[in-house]
Amino acid sequence: MPLTIHCSMCGANISPDDSAIRRGVVTCTHCSTVQRVTESGTRKTGRDSAVSAAPEGVQIVRGRQGGLTITGRRTRQGVVLNPPEIKRGALIGLVIGIAVTAVSALVAVPLMILFGWGMAGIIIPALFLEFLPVTFFSALIAIFAVAGRQQNLPPLELRDGALFPKTYGAKPVAVRDIRQLYSTTTRVLIRKPDEYIDQYMVFALTNAGERVFLIGPLDSAENALYIEEQIEEELGIFELPVYGNPELPKREDESLPVSPRQAPSGAAVCESCGAEIAITRAESKRGFSVCRHCGSLRLLYEPGSAKPVLGIPDAGGSDSQFTVAGNSGETVISARRSATPVLRISKGKFHILAPGAAQKAVDAHGVKRCNVKETGWTQTSHLDAGGMAAGFEALKEAMSYSGEVNPAKVLFGAGSEKAYSLSAVLSNGEEIRLLAGIRDIGEAFYLERMLQRGIKA
């Protein structure tokens, strides 16, 4: 009988494989929390790990008068800003700004000699205006370049009854205010579900319920757990569950088939590329699934019925983003608000008319099918400095939980929404985008159905 344990974060059942048991670390597939396990299923205590050797990439130094200084190796994808790197990068940017301005001043001297010293009233303000942006952008690039070369994270110090993170923007926390320490593994989405960065971090949960960042992003879950347990042992804190955010989506680590055409017979397959599709319970509820191979969206139907679970809107709805007008000979899709034509179907061709898109015609007879795809998040309202600051706070809060985070969605919050696009897949495999920026998934599938009828006509 396989070993089954309960996740200390969300309570879900976990069935670790042999490699996870040998490594002593398991990741919950529901909330992505990392925790230690043994062959008996019990978690290792802090005292067990405290006497073990530090894993590669972690260094812990004890002070002569007590206290700890902890350093860890950062993940390769992450860049952590701390005061020394910021000061060094700012100094480099200042030197570059002074050098560029000095060279420009030397070039301007012959101009003043030729046209008189009256040119100084124009040249000096121009040099000042040149110095500011050159210095700013040079410093910005230099800061990230210097920070990117650092393999180790800024140290975390335990002294004088408090924990002092050295990462820029982090704040110290008094030991007496700490209720619990915990580690997170947060998947940061870059674009599609298969383009992400895993971040391993250590946080403190205070008696007031605040989650305080301590150190990260570390390069492995083992390193994060080891640092957490060392501090717990030093402070005499018992290992207790720290519950996560139930709204964070579940991680999916299923591997793709070796080839899109190697899907087993009888299984659900993508209508576009033929890859195997595992339809989750959440997808069945929302009414569409996403192919993890090509990113195409597939409309789902109620069992034994031709009625979509999602529900497709009627043509010409008052709240629709686009209008459809015309007859059997020609159909024009226009943006409702601006009345600007974005796509015309005429004489067996799709004419792309959207502003900013490549103005071209696609022969409908050469189109194999049309696809609906997610294209990220589009901002629908102006975001001021206050909104951006609130977005960064929300992102910091989201990163303090194990799970999956879309930075664009968190940063822009209610000021953005998911967008979809329609594309045509040609017989030769080429895919051409016909229409982008569709805000409603139901309307995207409605337009896709209409284009499919245009292909069959």
Query: How far apart (Å, rounded) are the C-alpha atoms in residues 272 and 294?
Result: 8
So what's the pLDDT on residue 261? Answer: 39
250 in a structural domain:
no
Token reading at 421 = 């696009």
289 Cβ contact partners less than 8 Å away, ≥ 6 residues apart: 277, 279, 280, 283, 297, 298, 300
For tokens 């629709």, name the residue. Answer: 320
Q: At what angle do helices 83-115 and 120-149 cross, to 10 degrees?
A: 160
Token reading at 188 = 């940061």
Q: Does one domain contain both 132 and 211?
A: no
307 in a structural domain:
no
Confidence tier at 5 by pLDDT (50, 70, 90): low
The total of structural domains in the chain comes to 3
Query: How far apart (Å, rounded) are the C-alpha atoms in residues 249 and 140?
Result: 34
HEC profile for 266-303? CCCECCCCCCECCCCHHHHHHCEEECCCCCEEEECECC
DSSP state at residue 327? -
278 in a structural domain:
no
- The per-residue pLDDT for range 43-52, each reduced to its tens digit, is 444 444 444 5
DSSP state at residue 369? E
Q: Does one domain contain both 319 and 449?
A: yes
370 in a structural domain:
yes
Q: Which whole number is the average pLDDT over 340-367?
A: 82
Q: Does one domain contain both 55 and 169?
A: yes
Cβ atoms 55, 220 nearer than 8 A: yes
289 in a structural domain:
no
122 in a structural domain:
yes
Domain end among 149, 184, 199: 149
Q: Does one domain contain both 444 and 361?
A: yes
- Show the domain range for 28: 5-78+158-235
So what's the pLDDT on residue 282? Answer: 74
- The per-residue pLDDT for range 257-304, each reduced to its tens digit, is 333 333 344 457 777 777 777 787 777 778 888 887 778 888 888 777
Report CA torsion sign: 76, 82, 85, 90.
positive
Query: How far apart (Å, rounded) are the C-alpha atoms in residues 232 and 103?
Result: 57
Cβ atoms 402, 28 nearer than 8 A: yes
Q: Does one domain contain both 191 and 170?
A: yes
- The per-residue pLDDT for range 92-118, each reduced to its tens digit, is 888 888 888 888 888 877 777 777 767
Cβ atoms 265, 271 nearer than 8 A: no
Nearest Cα to Cα of residue 350 among 204, 450, 233: 450
Q: Does one domain contain both 209 and 329?
A: no
Domain end among 124, 149, 174: 149
Q: Does one domain contain both 112 and 227?
A: no
Report CA torsion sign: 90, 92, 95, 96.
negative
Q: Does one domain contain both 216 and 348?
A: no
271 in a structural domain:
no
Cβ atoms 224, 238 nearer than 8 A: no
Q: Does one domain contain both 225 and 360?
A: no
- What three-state secondary structure class fits 188? strand
- The per-residue pLDDT for range 151-199, each reduced to its tens digit, is 778 889 998 889 999 887 788 999 999 988 888 888 887 765 567 788 8
436 in a structural domain:
yes
Report pTM.
Answer: 0.57
Kindly list the distances between the CA atom of residue 357 and the CA atoms of 27, 178, 352, 419, 435, in Å, as whole numbers in the listed order: 44, 54, 7, 16, 9
Domain end among 192, 212, 235: 235
Q: Does one domain contain both 97 and 199?
A: no
Question: Number of helices (H) and strands (E), helices first, in the chain?
Answer: 9, 23
Q: Does one domain contain both 135 and 54?
A: no
Q: Does one domain contain both 113 and 174?
A: no
**What Rg value do the Cα atoms of the chain yield, rounded?**
28
